Amino acid sequence: MAATDDVGGDAGDSGESVWVAEVQLYGDVVLRFVSTGGYDGAFLPGFEAEDGVRTDETFGLKRLDHLVGNVWELLPRANYVAQSTGLHQFAEFTAEDVGTVDSGLNSLVLASNDGNVLLPMNEPTYGTRRKSQIQTYLEQNEGEGVQHMALLTDDIFTTIRSIRSMTRFGGFQLMGRPSDAYYRELPGRLGDALTPDEYAQVEELGLLADLDDAGVLLQVFTRPVGDRPTLFLEIIQRIGCIDEKGAQEAGCGGFGKGNFRELFKSVEDFEASLKMS
């Protein structure tokens, strides 16, 4: 399903307009394509930039890195999205890669040709001791939808300290800290990819770390932003993978495959605290 519209401007933006088209992804989630033409406004026609906004108010967050959806059946939905958008398969993970002894999921990442659009999708697995957290999401969300948004920063240590400083004022709460064993084993997995000081800060702040053959991923997750175990946020930093033009390659460091079990355990513990089966 697709819809196209012309978003017109007003006198403030010289009557310029942009073209917008939307493709339904899953549930009530749509992917919006925007053709700006010659329009160079701050956002879209009719919007104006705020004067005096401090860049540090974003705590160092730069942009959306990827957006993860939960669906009932992965392959039919992924094939539909790929055919509807031109995205291609970028990576995949199975329950053997990412599950715990209690539950699991299957996951697939779709990407644009330049890698700047990354859309992972998850489906629940069945027959495990516990209900998959993906199934819990689908039930609590009353259908398919966005599980989490990953926000990119160039300095996750500063970003997380800033976020934590706001918790007492009603800011986001972060997911539980990984086990001590996780941090004891981390240098064996990552080697000299991180400095001793970086390892110390990763443990101090309760971050997760992983790497692929090209770069390093540092990540941490918030608890759900609402009163149901549905949408949450991920804060990530990607290190390395600089191309010949000086830009970082998309998906540098992967998507935390080595951390999925630890994350799953944290979510399971959180759901258990809510007395959810």
Beta-strand ranges (E) seen in 112-192 are: 118-124, 145-153
Q: Same domain for 126 and 206? A: yes
Q: Same domain for 177 and 131? A: yes
Q: Same domain for 118 and 22? A: no
Q: Same domain for 31 and 69? A: no
Q: Does a structural domain hold residue 26?
A: yes
For residue range 220-253, list pLDDT tens digits in order.
999 999 888 899 999 999 998 888 888 888 888 8
Q: Does a structural domain hold residue 46?
A: no
Domain total of the chain: 2
pLDDT in the model for residue 12: 45
What does pLDDT average to over the chain? 85
CA pair distance 19, 8, nearest whole angstrom: 9
Q: Same domain for 21 and 129? A: no
User: In the structure, what pLDDT confidence band is assigned to residue 193 with cuts at 50, 70 and 90?
Assistant: very high
Q: Does a structural domain hold residue 138?
A: yes
Q: Same domain for 121 and 246? A: yes
pLDDT in the model for residue 8: 57
Q: Does a structural domain hold residue 8?
A: yes
Q: Same domain for 25 and 144? A: no
Q: Does a structural domain hold residue 44?
A: no
Q: Same domain for 87 and 154? A: yes
Q: Same domain for 166 and 225? A: yes
Q: Which residues are paired to 216 by β-bridges? A: 211, 239
- CB 153, CB 62: distance < 8 Å: yes
Q: Does a structural domain hold residue 42?
A: no
Q: Global pTM?
A: 0.85
Residue 191 vs residue 273, higher pLDDT = 191
Q: Same domain for 7 and 134? A: no
Domain membership of residue 12 as a residue range: 2-35
- Give the DSSP letter of residue 150: E
Q: Same domain for 183 and 87? A: yes
Q: Does a structural domain hold residue 168?
A: yes
For residue range 4-33, list pLDDT tens digits in order.
566 654 434 455 789 999 999 999 999 999
CATH code of the domain covering residue 221: 3.10.180.10
Q: Same domain for 30 and 62? A: no
CA pair distance 128, 103, nearest whole angstrom: 5
CB atoms within 10 A of CB 262: 19
Q: Does a structural domain hold residue 95?
A: yes
